[in-house]
């Protein structure tokens, strides 16, 4: 069927639906609290806002289903293979695909119901050709696209940009959260800063990582793996405590539920020194580092994958000793060694004798701390020492990433052994 004919059927269908709703429906209003954002003062508070509820299409389902134009529109959607394009699947009581499924109620709800709800929300129930076109084009773009695009927005905590407003690398963008995103995050219970009471608080975390991903229309893949590598790269690039507790997602074609989110298993606190400051001068070196990281990431052996997991875990720990123990495991797994770690690390990253001796001393203290914790259940350590160990890991991992582009992991480990013998 030609595009103009399809458009005309949907147009007449929408006219009829709006006419029935306008004739029998009743608009309701209510007041609800909504966040108001003050970016200048980095503050938010709740205010009462008037909301409007329009009648739902399904309140008049029986009457609508009798209309010839509704029947024609449903037939058209079946002819144009809408159920397949929308990845609809109807199952029986045993969870198996149903024989001769009836898609009409689902098309009525998902296509006509969504079109009607969006039209009423934006434009009230008076029909306009121009306004219909906008809703219609949005619907057709979604139905006929082979995939959907989701925007993932990950608020960065304890993070600031200095000397630049935003930057993009590949499919990732670091930018400021917009007001609508902040409102939605507050609505989900996410803490943008300190909460003085349930109805007001500060805004401390204003930056985010955004990534656009393509997914099937009916299935959402695990979101954290889609974006956490970029945060790991930020941590490996330079010192600074940065983390995340929430992933906000919304479709680029706003046909589905506009906002949804995924929280981590618990709310971690990343508010500690040093704050992660990404400066203008960091941009070019970080792009180079990210390209290096991305190039070898898919070749990581299990030791490096496991080591990075413990490195990232150290950022989520709230106790200094726990962070130190996580870093000890990270280093041991990275170098595939336990007792001789005090020799491996200095030989690998030390540039001169004095530096190697200092690293050797610190790693021996790290090994002693781990042993003391095993035997007594406690060891008193200072944050400055943990920061030093973290930086040894960072320097080691940076060097591994450089070497992995031309060498295997096993050959790197062997070369460290040979350098110690020499």
pLDDT in tens, 332-360: 999 998 888 999 999 999 989 999 999 99
Percentage with pLDDT > 90 across the chain: 54
Q: What is the pLDDT of residue 396?
A: 97
Mean pLDDT lowest among 130-134, 189-193, 226-230? 189-193
Tell me how long the chain is. Answer: 422
What residue spans of 174-276 are helical by DSSP H? 179-187, 224-237
Surface-to-core class of residue 43, CB atoms within 10 Å of its CB (0-12 exposed, 13-18 middle, 19+ buried): middle
Residues near 144 by Cβ (< 8 Å), separated by ≥ 6? 85
For residues 346 and 355, give the distance between their C-alpha atoms in angstroms, rounded to a whole number.
8
Is pTM beyond 0.95? Reply is no
Closest CA to 364 of 378, 346, 384: 346
Q: What is the pLDDT of residue 265?
A: 42
Q: What is the pLDDT of residue 258?
A: 61
Average pLDDT in the chain? 89
pLDDT band at 395, cuts 50/70/90?
Answer: very high
pLDDT band at 311, cuts 50/70/90?
Answer: very high
For residues 152 and 251, give the distance between their C-alpha atoms in angstroms, rounded to a whole number.
9
Partners of 260 in beta bridges? 249
Q: Inform me whether the pLDDT recorded for 171 exceeds 90.
A: yes
For residues 294 and 350, give the distance between their C-alpha atoms in angstroms, rounded to a whole number.
26
Contact by Cβ (8 Å): 231, 276: no
Assigned token pair, 42: 């980095």
For residues 88 and 84, give the distance between their C-alpha atoms in angstroms, rounded to a whole number.
6
Q: Inform me whether the pLDDT recorded for 403 exceeds 60.
A: yes
Closest CA to 184 of 167, 160, 208: 208
Residues near 409 by Cβ (< 8 Å), separated by ≥ 6? 301, 303, 304, 400
Mean pLDDT lowest among 99-108, 236-245, 288-297, 389-398? 99-108
Contact by Cβ (8 Å): 358, 376: no
Q: Inform me whether the pLDDT recorded for 321 exceeds 60.
A: yes
Q: What is the pLDDT of residue 262?
A: 59
For the chain, which residues make up each domain, given as ranges?
3-144, 147-295, 299-422
Q: Inform me whether the pLDDT recorded for 263 exceeds 70.
A: no
């Amino acid at each position: 069927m030609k595009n103009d004919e399809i458009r005309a059927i949907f147009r007449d269908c929408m006219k009829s639906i709006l006419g029935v709703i306008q004739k029998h429906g009743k608009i309701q209003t209510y007041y609800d609290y909504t966040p108001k954002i003050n970016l200048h003062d980095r503050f938010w508070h709740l205010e009462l806002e008037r909301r409007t509820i329009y009648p739902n299409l399904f309140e008049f389902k029986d009457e609508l289903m009798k209309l010839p134009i509704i029947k024609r529109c449903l037939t058209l959607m079946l002819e144009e293979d809408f159920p397949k394009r929308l990845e609809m699947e109807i199952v029986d009581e045993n969870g198996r695909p149903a024989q001769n499924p009836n898609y009409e109620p689902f098309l009525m709800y998902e296509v006509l119901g969504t079109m009607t709800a969006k039209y009423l929300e934006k434009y009230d129930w008076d029909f306009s050709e121009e306004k219909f076109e906008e809703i219609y084009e949005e619907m057709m773009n979604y139905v006929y696209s082979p995939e959907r695009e989701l925007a993932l927005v990950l608020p960065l905590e304890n993070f600031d940009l200095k000397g630049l407003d935003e930057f993009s690398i590949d499919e990732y963008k670091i930018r400021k959260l917009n007001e609508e995103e902040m409102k939605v995050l507050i609505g989900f219970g996410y803490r943008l800063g300190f909460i003085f009471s349930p109805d007001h608080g500060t805004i401390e975390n204003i930056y985010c990582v955004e990534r656009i991903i393509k997914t099937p229309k009916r299935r959402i893949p695990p979101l954290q793996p889609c974006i956490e590598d970029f945060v790991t790269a930020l941590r490996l690039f330079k010192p600074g405590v940065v983390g995340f507790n929430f992933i906000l997602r919304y479709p680029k074609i706003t046909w589905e539920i506009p906002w949804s989110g995924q929280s981590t298993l618990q709310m971690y606190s990343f508010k500690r020194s040093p704050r992660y400051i990404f400066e203008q001068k960091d941009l070019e070196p970080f792009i180079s580092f990210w390209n290096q990281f991305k190039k070898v990431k898919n070749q990581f052996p299990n030791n490096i994958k496991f080591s990075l997991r413990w490195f990232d875990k150290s950022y989520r720990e709230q106790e200094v000793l726990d962070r130190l123990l996580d870093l000890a495991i990270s280093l041991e797994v990275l170098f595939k060694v336990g007792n001789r770690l005090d020799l491996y690390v200095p030989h690998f990253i030390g540039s001169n004798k004095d530096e190697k001796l200092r690293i050797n001393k610190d790693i021996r203290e790290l090994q002693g701390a781990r042993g003391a914790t095993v035997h007594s259940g406690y060891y008193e350590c200072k944050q400055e020492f943990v920061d030093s160990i973290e930086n040894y890991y960072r320097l080691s991992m940076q060097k591994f990433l450089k070497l992995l582009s031309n060498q295997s992991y096993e050959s790197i480990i062997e070369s460290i052994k040979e350098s110690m013998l020499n």
